Chains A and B, each alone.
Chain A
């Protein structure tokens, strides 16, 4: 076992942009002074999440949904291992984390779309409430996500937060991804600029 590259650039930069933007959107949510900041932060969440969907099919090995979206049995086995304080190690995402990811991406998209509709006065009071409810649901999933990241890190003795920065985790040399895909990162940033511009106009 050695340190190998598993997370490509779009996954890592997208992750931290989404995490930062989510926190910012949350902090500015009930302020009219910061309404534009809120809208832009929400647009970043929407931009990252909507980029991540196709990247889950055409991205590098561990970024693909087929690699980490597992059936309920694998999730149960992983969580049972977690309870025994001996969870199975996965080079990519673990099965429970995989579902948190799907939920976070989905909630990021629908929350932001509901917010965008409210901002443009489409959908009225109902969408306004929906936007708030979805955002709260997403916050709960983020908390579960963080609990999973920290418990997983402790029990595997592997700092998963640092891995999300460096892209490197424990694995065999032949399990590494070949490239961190810098060009796809440029595409992500262009996509975010476009999303920001679209929301602002």
Chain B
């Protein structure tokens, strides 16, 4: 019985994760997890934002909490274009080592809007 209910929970959780991501969002997901290793302290987006964009992150250098990037966890995300551009500008330069392309940014935003 017990193992059955665990199986049930597992199925439910698998199901909720299985909300299919659109192809742009999948590319955005891959980009989010990619290790660029340009910057020792911040080799990837996940260095500060953790592997799970639904969770709060922690600044790799100052230790400050960073609110989740996923829109489903933080409704304010991607609502202010100037702020979005500012942070892409700063963090692409330091983490990716160059400016991000328009496609990369669009994919990233798609992932953050869809993931739940």
Contacts and interface: CB of A to CB of B under 8 A. Distances in A.
Interface in B22-70: 39, 41-42, 48, 59, 61-62, 64
A125 B84 CA distance: 12
Nearest to B39: A33
Contacts of A119: 62, 64
Contacts, number: 26
B26 to A, nearest CB: 27
A32 B94 contact: yes
Contacts of A121: 64
Contacts of A30: 90
B91 interface: yes
A33 B42 contact: yes
Contacts of B59: 32, 35
A32 to B, nearest CB: 6
A31 interface: yes
The interface size bin for chain A is 10 to 19
Interface residues of B, number: 13
Interface string A122-162: 00010000000000000000000000000000000000000
A33 B83 contact: no
Interface string A24-41: 000000111101100100
A82 B64 CA distance: 50
B94 A33 contact: yes
Given A32-B90, A33-B94, A121-B64, 7 more contacts: A30-B90, A32-B48, A32-B59, A33-B42, A36-B62, A39-B62, A125-B83
**Pairs A-B, 8 closest by C-beta atoms:** A35-B62, A35-B61, A30-B90, A33-B94, A36-B62, A36-B61, A32-B94, A33-B41
Interface of B: 39, 41-42, 48, 59, 61-62, 64, 80, 83, 90-91, 94
10 contacts: A30-B90, A31-B94, A32-B48, A32-B61, A33-B42, A33-B61, A35-B59, A35-B61, A35-B62, A125-B80
